[in-house]
């Protein structure tokens, strides 16, 4: 009985760590892709660089917010 409790706790910690890592990795990939697309768009249409940069920053902030939420949820699971 006691061993199964430790196993479940260990699996919860491993899952929380894996989930936090995946959330951070996905955010990094998403923001990198946004930056790449924005630079390519500015190279094609330099006159619209202000609008492109604004849209890029808003999208990056939204992705970062979702990633932070995911990491916080994983940490709450680990600490519960």
Tens of pLDDT, residues 11-66: 888 888 899 999 999 999 999 999 999 999 999 999 999 999 999 999 999 999 99
pLDDT value at residue 72:
92
Q: 35: number of CA atoms within 13 Å, CB side? A: 9
- The model's confidence at residue 78, banded by pLDDT at 50, 70 and 90, is confident
pLDDT value at residue 46:
94
CATH architecture under which domain 2-79 falls: Up-down Bundle (1.20)
pLDDT value at residue 9:
77
pLDDT value at residue 3:
60
Which phi-psi region, left, alpha or beta, contains residue 45 (left: φ > 0; alpha: ψ -120 to 50)?
A: beta
């Amino acid at each position: 009985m006691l061993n199964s409790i430790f196993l479940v706790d260990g699996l919860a910690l491993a899952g929380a760590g894996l989930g936090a890592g995946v959330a951070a990795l996905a955010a990094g990939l998403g923001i990198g892709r946004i930056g790449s697309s924005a630079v390519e768009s500015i190279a094609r249409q330099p006159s619209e660089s202000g609008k492109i940069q604004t849209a890029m920053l808003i999208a990056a902030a939204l992705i970062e917010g979702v990633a932070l939420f995911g990491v916080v949820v994983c940490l709450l699971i680990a600490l519960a």
